[in-house]
Structure 1
């Protein structure tokens, strides 16, 4: 605040003395920095759905994100099972990570059942991992790709995943609510 007051006084003194200062230099071009939770491609896919993620939640060395699938189309969509998920490194190359279906410390898997979502409706899935380091170098992913079902187009979401040395993600089935 003090610096601002000095600037205003100095600017006033220059204006009174009849001096003018040169215009400020142009701002540097904007740099695209992915924001966690960002979805690419954005918007509704041709399948009538879009997927976004919430922030990374942490508890006792465990981590999770909630995937929210929204029916942005005009017709109901029925999904049965689990989303298709891959983990990518900072260079967007696939990582050698096992994806297991089931519950984890962070969420209970509701199991596989047909889920019909009406336009505007949502389904949820939890992706979880443990940040355990035993032997070797810890791994970290930078992106998660998600397809609503096998054969659907993927959406890439910016998510920092500090896997430690576990090399494993756990995934719950699509469901209208989360159980933990």
Structure 2
């Protein structure tokens, strides 16, 4: 086991996601591991242990010298994605997947699960606000309705249609962008505040949008996940 600590120096509770990488004796990465430390209070320090650190070639447990912290993300606890198996008071669980990438195209899927007890209806696009490292708004990026304007992203899911989610059902939407860098300053957006629709409770995700100098992010409308499985969701294309 490896002990580590998280200190919240902000004035409100934050939830932290720490990404560790395990390296061999020559410093080569072997695997990565992600830990979430939820609701660390303002000015508080929380101590945890990294349980399954792994083993070296001789079967001995890896020590601290074989563990690196490669990324730390923090979001306000009241806007953090709900953990698996839990359901927010809204009855809607909004999360993002790990995404996909190829040939400069980046794709991240949003997932909206009705974990409540009543049907939920919506129509349209997720409402997005781009945020920097300090969780302040990022200006100058055009959010396109649909991913058809993003090269190599295909036609996307088409126009919005009404969606009704019964308890246990889910809908998906897609974020797509390119990391092309030409003239100008490259922009990276570490966080996105997402609402299922206008007025819905916000959830802050950390997709790390490496937008390059494109200045554009495409977003498809919500579709039932079963419909996406039947029609095919946006994925990077190699040609």
Which TM-score band (shorter chain)?
Answer: 0.7 to 0.9
1:121-178 deviation digits (Å, cap 9, x = unpaired): 1000001111111211111111111101011111001111100011211000000214
For 2:185 and 2:143, the matched residues in 1 are separated by 20
Equivalent residue number for residue 173 of structure 1: 221
For residue 41 of structure 1, report the CA deviation from its aligned partner.
4.7
Matches within 5 A, 1:121-140: 121-140=169-188
Matches within 5 A, 1:83-162: 83-96=126-139, 97-104=141-148, 105-106=152-153, 108-162=156-210
TM-score, reference length from structure 2: 0.59
Structure 2 SS opposite 1:125: strand
For 2:203 and 2:6, the matched residues in 1 are separated by 24
* Structure 1 portions without partners, runs of 5+: 1-25
The structure number with the bigger radius of gyration is 1
Give the one of 104, 117, 122 matched to 1:79: 122
For 2:182 and 2:104, the matched residues in 1 are separated by 13
For residue 30 of structure 1, report the CA deviation from its aligned partner.
4.0
Structure 1 residue ranges (4+ consecutive) displaced by more than 2 angstroms after TM superposition = 26-36, 41-47, 103-107
Q: Residue 34 of structure 1 contacts residue 158 of structure 1 at CA under 8 Å; is this kept in 2?
A: no
Q: Residue 140 of structure 1 contacts residue 164 of structure 1 at CA under 8 Å; is this kept in 2?
A: yes
- Bigger strand fraction: 2
TM-score, reference length from structure 1: 0.77
Number of residue pairs the alignment of both structures matches: 154
Equivalent residue number for residue 29 of structure 1: 5
For residue 88 of structure 1, report the CA deviation from its aligned partner.
1.0
Q: Which has the higher contact order (CA 8 A, sep 6+)?
A: 1
For 2:174 and 2:117, the matched residues in 1 are separated by 26
